[in-house]
Structure 1
Amino acid sequence: MSFRIRAARDEDLQPLYEMAKLTGGGFTNLPPDRAALKAKLDRSHAAFARADDGIADELFVLVLENTATGEVRGTCQIFTQVGQRYPFYSYRIGTLTQHSQELDRTFRADMLTLATDLEGCSEVGGLFLHPGERAGGLGMLLARSRYLFIAKHRARFADRILAELRGIIDEAGGSPFWDGLAGRFFGMNFQDADQFNAVRGHQFIADLFPKHPIYIAMLSETARAAIGLPHPSGRAAMRMLENEGFAFENYIDIFDGGPTMTARTDQVRTIREAVSAEVVGTDADRGEPMLVAAGRLADFRCAYAKARAEGDQVEIDSVCATALDLRVGDTVNIVGRL
């Protein structure tokens, strides 16, 4: 069985919608709303169609396709520059230190401050793999394909990159962090706020959210416990991000308190280690496991391969060559499989 990553098309709307219904909530970049998903596809088509380089406010949607059946079994997204249409809000965790001479004591209070520090960064997000395919490294293929896409179109992305991980969601679909903080100001539950944000954007945050710092000690115990923790299903994603060089630098999502990971774009491991090579053979019967990416923009595609690389030349196996429609003489980007 062979899988490849490719650009999303209009006919992918239905499988994207079906996958969105499986996310369980709190997955803002993949809302179970046809109109919102169609708008994402339209925006992605426009980004793929723009041929000139340079950073703009764009979104690229990629999908994981089973090449034997044509079924779409996963998806991921890349935002080139966040915070251009609406402010990109995060909570920054900080500490306020005060000293009392009378008591001869120093008091340190952890605080949450609403910030737009990450505005202008690129973002990788929207990664979802169908539950029936969570084996064989397909989640890793989805995740790392985004970095190979960035490497092939580096001028269209910022020098800093972020990834927001979904936070703790309880069995009822609610968010302890939201209930303990923002829900008190907005008069709506997490599910309603999450859906509103996914479909209409989060300008309402700018309109209604308290701008003053929040003392963490004043939050409920359940809200405090959720700060900076990923959803259990996102722990593997967090490890993958850390392996790529991302770090948690005290920024959290304003809705569910999940961690925001950041990195310097050129220091992301896959981007740093990817090299360009000419295909000199398409029937390698053995070799090292690698990721291979070919094509630009809407022609971009990526898959696993068994490959033998030497200098700026590479031989790949026939399965990968077929999946990516590669021929001798083509140029690809390759990187070792972690």
Structure 2
Amino acid sequence: MSFVIRAARDEDLQHLYEMAKLTGGGFTNLPPERDALRAKLARSHAAFARPDDGGEHDDLFVLILENVKTGEVRGTCQIFTRVGQTWPFYSYRIGTVTKHSRELARTFRAEILSLVNDLEGSSEVGGLFLHPAERAGGLGMLLARSRYLFMARNRARFADRVLAELRGVIDEAGGSPFWDGVAGRFFGMNFQQADEFNATHGNQFIADLMPKHPIYTAMLQESARSVIGLPHPSGRAAMRMLEHEGFAFEHYIDIFDGGPTMTARTDQVRTIRDARTCTLGRIADEGVDSIIATGLLADFRVTMGKCGEADGAVTVDPIAAATLGIGEGAEITHIAR
């Protein structure tokens, strides 16, 4: 395969900007603003350069999918070490209030949304975007699972719980029915304005302006109520991939668009749990289709290729070895596709 995933560099800024313009809105981790993307790259550089000091830092790692033959950047993804360390991490938790009337001999159950920080301190995988022209051949899967291999190879940097926020339902005009029915009533701005502000300034304004009392969903417009916990149609495949990795929807939703937040125990994520780390014995064109990673932090690289075991030695095919820049004796982490 001629594609490799690597740490983002400053010269990737224009490529990230061009991809951000293709997202269609509601993609907070990839805003179509150069200054915001430049700040993300700076934050990522600092994270890659930071030695493991045992602290709980809110670091961001930006990874890039590159065609090594053409040099084109065709995708990206992001990993956050511990959300909520710099500013609070908010979610709505879907809950139920039960009340009973003895006089009426009836029990009433009402669904409520509570503003919470329950997921603060979790790691987060997000910011995944693949250029529309490349949405074939398993590259989306490679991007998604590369994040887990990065976590596996740098495990001490990450929390014991990991989350993934899926974009919620966005209408044809780029608006959010959930935002219009809930938060938009308190902020005096539309969804796109709030989304852009959040992407560039953080979400402290949510804490400042959002009412703290629970919201009864029965009091919302049907347009807002009907999209609670639903992913954007383009995110359904991503939701299935997350479920395959062991993530589950545990009734947390995004405060902006109402999309589902999926969570998992980090060490139980399938790719992290089942990946094997070993020493490359020899280069040989045999084995099974695999995802293969090498290197730590800024030296981390991932590609797809054949990996197997022959005569007691772990093998990687020549193209994958060349793409990763490794030879016999290199440490690799691999998992079957």
Partner of 1:317: 317
Per-residue deviation, 1:238: 0.3
Partner of 1:301: 301
CA distance in 1, matches of 2:95, 2:52: 41
What is the one-letter code of the residue matched to 2:96? T
In the TM superposition, structure 1's runs of 4+ consecutive aligned residues that sit over 2 Å from their partners are 51-55, 309-313
Partner of 2:213: 212
Cα deviation 1:180-220 (Å, max 9, x = unaligned): 11111111110100000001111100000010000001101
What is the one-letter code of the residue matched to 2:129? F
CA distance in 2, matches of 1:93, 1:313: 51
Query: Match of 1:125, SS?
Result: strand
CA distance in 2, matches of 1:150, 1:129: 20
CA distance in 2, matches of 1:64, 1:313: 29
CA contact 1:278–1:312 (8 Å) conserved in 2: no
CA distance in 2, matches of 1:310, 1:146: 28
Partner of 2:57: 56
Per-residue deviation, 1:53: 4.5
Matches within 5 A, 1:214-233: 214-233=215-234
CA distance in 1, matches of 2:171, 2:76: 24
Query: Match of 1:226, SS?
Result: coil
Partner of 2:105: 104
Partner of 2:291: 291
Cα deviation 1:225-254 (Å, max 9, x = unaligned): 110000011000000000000000000000
Please give the root-mean-square deviation of Cα atoms over the aligned residues, in Å.
1.1
CA contact 1:174–1:191 (8 Å) conserved in 2: yes
Partner of 1:134: 135
CA distance in 1, matches of 2:324, 2:155: 21
Cα distance change of structure 1 residues 74 and 311 upon mapping to structure 2, 3 Å threshold: farther
CA contact 2:89–2:117 (8 Å) conserved in 1: yes
Per-residue deviation, 1:85: 1.1
Per-residue deviation, 1:221: 0.5
Partner of 1:143: 144
CA distance in 2, matches of 1:225, 1:249: 18
Cα deviation 1:69-128 (Å, max 9, x = unaligned): 111100000000001111100000000000000000000000000000000000000000
Query: Match of 2:258, SS?
Result: coil
Cα deviation 1:254-311 (Å, max 9, x = unaligned): 0000000000000000000011111122232x32011100001100000101121369
Q: Which runs of 5+ in 1 are unaligned?
A: none
Query: Match of 2:13, SS?
Result: helix
Partner of 1:265: 266
Cα distance change of structure 1 residues 53 and 236 upon mapping to structure 2, 3 Å threshold: farther
CA contact 2:282–2:313 (8 Å) conserved in 1: no
Matches within 5 A, 1:87-236: 87-236=88-237
What is the one-letter code of the residue matched to 1:181? V
CA contact 2:253–2:259 (8 Å) conserved in 1: yes
Sequence identity (%): 72
CA contact 2:163–2:261 (8 Å) conserved in 1: yes
CA contact 2:52–2:157 (8 Å) conserved in 1: no
CA distance in 1, matches of 2:103, 2:333: 65
Query: Match of 1:185, SS?
Result: helix
Cα deviation 1:299-324 (Å, max 9, x = unaligned): 00001011213698421111111110
CA contact 1:287–1:306 (8 Å) conserved in 2: yes
Cα distance change of structure 1 residues 129 and 312 upon mapping to structure 2, 3 Å threshold: farther
What is the one-letter code of the residue matched to 1:322? A
CA distance in 2, matches of 1:212, 1:193: 21
Cα distance change of structure 1 residues 221 and 84 upon mapping to structure 2, 3 Å threshold: same
Query: Match of 2:226, SS?
Result: helix
Cα distance change of structure 1 residues 138 and 96 upon mapping to structure 2, 3 Å threshold: same
CA distance in 2, matches of 1:36, 1:197: 11
CA distance in 1, matches of 2:270, 2:214: 35
The answer as to 2:25 corresponding to 1:25 is: yes
CA distance in 1, matches of 2:309, 2:320: 15
The answer as to 2:41 corresponding to 1:37 is: no
CA contact 1:281–1:315 (8 Å) conserved in 2: yes
